[in-house]
Structure 1
Amino acid sequence: MFSFLKINRNIRSIRRYWNIVRVLSQYGFDNALEMLGLSDVAARGRHLFKRGALDLSRYTSAERMRMALEELGPTFVKLGQILSTRPDIIPAPFVVEFEKLQDHVASFSFDDLRDQIESELGASVEELFEVIDHVPLAAASIAQVHRARLKGGEEVVVKVRRPGVVKLVESDISAMMALAQLAERHISGSELYEPVAVMREFARTIRREMDFSREGHTIEKFRDNFKSTHWMHFPHVYWSHSSRGVLTMEYIDGIKVSDLASLQKAGLDRKVIAQRGADAFLEMVLKHGFFHGDPHPGNVFILPENRICLLDYGIVGRIDESLTSFLSDIIIAIVNRDMDQVISLLLFAGDISDSLDIRSLKRDLSHFVDGYYEVPLSDIEVGRMLLEFIEIITLYNIRIQPDLMLLAKSLVIVEGMGRSLNPDFDMVEHVRPFMEKALRRKMSPKNIYKDLSMVLSSYSSLARNLPRDLKEIINRLNRNKFKIDLEHRGLDKFNADFDRSMNRLSSSLILAALIIGSSIIMQTEKGPQFLGFPVLAFMGYVVAGLLGLWLVYAIIRSGRM
């Protein structure tokens, strides 16, 4: 039974894999397929996959890739959205295009909704809800949301996972992982970007997003972090009506933060809202190390008394103590214009390449700092400054943690909302007290003692393990069991091309032998005759002709004459 299910899953993955190849070829990415070692597939695609009326010359490669992701469906749209927060991995034009990706999907029927709810919660819709709207409030690639009322009269929203989306996503992940492995195997320099590791991280992210029970626990964690902050509100989760595929939450009747006219009409204070929003986000980052990763205006509602409520907790970021310390040290070094310290921190915290040009990096960072020299603090956009800093270091292939990228993007959104609510909004003034607290905490005797203890513990562990490790290496050398594994990159494509050339050469030799042998038999005029010619010679010529036609067709189809 399990073997049969596994075979079915593998067949689905293979079908999806070929569909991905078809779409990439359709949008003109044959060169990318060839780089992945799929030159035969790319050549076949040029002849078999029709591109229709699409004029590829009108679009940039980034635009074509965005359109390809949209055609491939929800999993690839999610991948593009996540990659749009990773300028350290993809070029700037692709970041801009991927930011445009949206979920354009039709809502599924109420009958499917009913089946999903009853399957997940083990009871009928009539038993669970007094009423539930048939028309969804919103529909996305993974789920759709309906308004409802519980038996006790509570107004709620029900988030229901789309039928079949788990199988589709798993199939897509298998195909994506296969392509990522091909990229690491065939594309020189891809190890710097670790495509397989990126795909594993994406798989973890989207699987967490499809598990609505995780989102429910995330909401409760945020509520617990802000339990003493009366002006922050988080939706109540009804666990009796929730599962991994269904999430029932309190209905929030508020005003979108971007609806300035309604805020004004309701008598709400936009300046207070901007201040509280900035303080809440900075507290998430610098105090709790756990922040909302998608705070766009559609996910921020304002309630009476200028209270703030956040929605959609599918994407969250985590900033641990070491990353918080790194941010503090970077900011101090930039303020002091100490580029040597900035570079030292980057070398310590980031993944760097062996070819890093430190002198050029120092020059570009100095120009970056000079650009903000004597600029009034109120005119500095902290989020964009952080993005500009990240853009510089990614030019030198210095990779930093994905959560820092997500933080920079989120900070830009929060700062933009603050300035739209209050034109005099100054993020620097909000950041300063949090940074001062972080620095005092870092320089406190307790923290210094903790750091010293960790350093001493590390050296103590090294001192204990070093003799044993050296002894193990010497023993392996003495037993001739010391091995060094060497990995050759890019040889698979060479081997495939070499095998193909040898096959063609062998076919050519057989073709020549058939022609020569048939000609010799033709001269002997012995054996059975057909129309006055020896039958064996006639058959040899026919086979040689067919083999020659096949060989010419194969060469033309490959696109390499």
Structure 2
Amino acid sequence: MSTVQEKFNNYSKFIKFIYKYWNSDVFRAASENARNIEAETDSNGETDDYHGPQELVEDLKKMGPTYVKLGQLLSTRPDLLPPNYLQALETLQDDVEKIPYSTVQEIVEEETGQRISKAFESFDTEPLASASIGQVHQATLRSGKMVAVKIQRPGIRKKFLEDLDTLKEMTDFAVKHNDAAKKYAVDEILDEFRFILLNELDYVKEAENLRVLANNLQNFRKIFVPQPVDGYSTSKILTMEFVKGQKITSVSPLSRTENDYSTLVDELVEAYMKQIIIDGFAHADPHPGNIHLTQDGRIALMDLGMVAKFGTEMRDDILKLIIAISKYNGVETANALLQMSEYGKETDVQKFQKEINRLVLEAENKSAGKLKTAPLLIQMNRVAAEHGIKLAVELNIFGKILMQLDQIVAVLAPEYDLQKSIEENVEKMMQKKMLQDLKPENFLSQLIETKKLAEKLPERLNTITERLANNEFEIKIDAIDEKRLTDGFQKVANRISIGLVIAALIIGAALLMRVPTTFVILGYPGLAMIFFLAAALFGIWLILKMILNDEELKSNKRR
């Protein structure tokens, strides 16, 4: 539990931040749905109140690790922020102090249950990297195996939870009193952020993520996923294989000249398409800092604290979307987006479809090689937000992954056609998915349902036939008003009956005309004339009744 002073500090820090940026591009982008917010800044990206996106990044760093992580999450929401902010937030890394080695030693010994000198042959006192959640040290096991040990910062979980509680109270208030906050469901964004962050704080889950991803990508020889070391990993420390190599961002132009990395990029793109479309389990943060080039020429995927999971239907929808975009089919693209979205009755779906179709046609008219799926997805996301359509979170994550892959490709193989590679891989993935769907185990649930139907069918048929025999069978329809329906049938039946009576009277009168009688009216047989007059009166009454009822029905429809 946080103290009153801590809560006050959290609230005041948050309120100062909101006050500073309330009239800035950050909030106007969401509240006004401005498409060209960035055009309102000057050539240096400056506004009247502050120095643009970069100052926002610096302020988030000052507010602490929770807000740094929140900024990183917001970099995946093109529906909320203009492009210049997204680019700034993508590079957001926290500047934090190193954890003292004495504290590191204490945490490792507490978690492993033995002295650090006994658990490891060597343990570097200087960290390889230091971030908001944890710090990484190089070490050597007693077996001689080199490992990387990630240690969670002491008290970081408590700090995150306090900040999250403050944000929760603020977002709940905002949703109740602000239309923009309600429209963009900031409370749901926070819930998603909380879920992601708490998972990232659990190193046991990260270790499991490493195992799952390595198993899924075992057929990719040029992709390496470092594996956790059993017995040396807990919820607060994670020991894994050491990656000998360098960050992708450190690859020099000379190295690109001497080596052809295009085949390496081919495998990387295929690996990510498989993760998203086939496995439904993907490395969700492949920014250049998390992708390393090993000494033996492989690509290592680092930091599995953040993963994305795509359900079966979502994978199918993403596959349809990519195919529609690659064919420049605006109608199919819009339909695919609507299929994975939420929207109300007031949404102008036709207008949304027209705008998406226009975007796709504009992309088609660009010169060859200019189309990029990720920027197009960002534009579509903005159009959806303007029309009150909430696209699936998974689509934002997919767009972010593609954007980050584009950055990696730009470093390793600047001339590489990522769009063409995505299209080719989609065809492969579609074939694999079809084969996967045809596997016997995928029909197991259908077989179980069929078995249940076969078991229950004789009993149900017997019940139905018995009720039919006893005249007890009833059909209830909730979709219509039964009383109104039966009343309508009754009126029709009455009109038909009256019509038959009128016809009978006319026919009877016609037959009586030939029968001689002393009772005459106007020189005609009297009884025949009575029948004719009765038929005429009934006919006039029926016509008037029908006209009046039809007018009443039309007036009810207008209401």
TM-score by length of 2: 0.69
**1:293 aligned residue:** 284
**2:102 aligned residue:** 111
Give 1:361 shift: 2.1
Aligned partner (choices 183, 202, 215) of residue 174 of structure 2 = 183
Give 1:118 shift: 1.5
| Cα contact 1:173–1:203 (8 A) shared by 2 | yes
Aligned partner (choices 86, 92, 97) of residue 95 of structure 1 = 86
Change (3 A) 1:376 1:274: farther
Give 1:132 shift: 0.9
Give 1:26 shift: 3.6
Correspondence 1:19-168 to 2 at 5 A: 19-27=9-17, 29=19, 57-59=48-50, 65-90=56-81, 92=83, 94-168=85-159
Aligned partner (choices 256, 268, 273) of residue 264 of structure 2 = 273
Distance 1:108 1:102 in 2: 17
Give 1:334 shift: 4.1
- Whichever residue aligns with residue 197 of structure 1, its letter is E
Give 1:23 shift: 2.3
Give 1:408 shift: 0.9
Give 1:146 shift: 0.8
Distance 1:349 1:294 in 2: 22
Deviations 1:197-242 (A, max 9, x none): 2222211111111111111111111111122222222213112111
Give 1:446 shift: 4.7
Structure 1 vs Structure 2 CA RMSD: 3.5
Distance 2:125 2:330 in 1: 60
| Cα contact 1:129–1:150 (8 A) shared by 2 | yes
**1:315 aligned residue:** 306
Aligned partner (choices 322, 325, 328) of residue 316 of structure 2 = 325
- The answer to whether structure 1 residue 200 and structure 2 residue 191 are counterparts is yes
Deviations 1:392-412 (A, max 9, x none): 323323222222212211212
| Cα contact 2:285–2:401 (8 A) shared by 1 | yes
Correspondence 1:357-372 to 2 at 5 A: 357-372=348-363
Q: Which has the higher contact order (CA 8 A, sep 6+)?
A: 1
Change (3 A) 1:420 1:72: closer
3-state SS of the aligned residue for 2:401?
Answer: helix
- The answer to whether structure 1 residue 170 and structure 2 residue 125 are counterparts is no
- The answer to whether structure 1 residue 256 and structure 2 residue 247 are counterparts is yes
Correspondence 1:529-540 to 2 at 5 A: none
Distance 2:165 2:257 in 1: 50
- The answer to whether structure 1 residue 18 and structure 2 residue 27 are counterparts is no
Q: Where do 5+ consecutive residues of structure 1 fail to align?
A: 1-8, 34-54, 472-561
| Cα contact 2:57–2:88 (8 A) shared by 1 | yes
**2:334 aligned residue:** 343
- Whichever residue aligns with residue 432 of structure 1, its letter is E
- Whichever residue aligns with residue 294 of structure 1, its letter is D
- Whichever residue aligns with residue 13 of structure 2, its letter is V
3-state SS of the aligned residue for 1:127?
Answer: helix
Correspondence 1:447-466 to 2 at 5 A: none
Change (3 A) 1:331 1:126: closer
| Cα contact 1:16–1:172 (8 A) shared by 2 | no
Give 1:287 shift: 2.0
Q: Matched residue pairs, number?
A: 431
- Whichever residue aligns with residue 194 of structure 1, its letter is A
| Cα contact 2:326–2:423 (8 A) shared by 1 | no
Distance 1:412 1:265 in 2: 21
| Cα contact 1:277–1:418 (8 A) shared by 2 | no
Change (3 A) 1:307 1:263: farther
| Cα contact 2:226–2:240 (8 A) shared by 1 | yes
- The answer to whether structure 1 residue 303 and structure 2 residue 294 are counterparts is yes
Matched-pair identity in %: 24
**1:546 aligned residue:** none
3-state SS of the aligned residue for 1:371?
Answer: helix
Change (3 A) 1:353 1:66: farther
Give 1:348 shift: 3.1
Q: Where do 5+ consecutive residues of structure 2 fail to align?
A: 24-45, 454-459, 461-474, 480-559
| Cα contact 2:261–2:412 (8 A) shared by 1 | yes
- Whichever residue aligns with residue 246 of structure 1, its letter is I
- Whichever residue aligns with residue 174 of structure 1, its letter is D
Change (3 A) 1:308 1:67: closer
| Cα contact 1:142–1:161 (8 A) shared by 2 | yes
**2:39 aligned residue:** none
**1:490 aligned residue:** none
Deviations 1:346-404 (A, max 9, x none): 33321224442334323322321122225455333232233333333233232222222
For the pair shown, the structure with the greater C-alpha radius of gyration is 2
Distance 1:220 1:109 in 2: 30
- Whichever residue aligns with residue 275 of structure 2, its letter is M
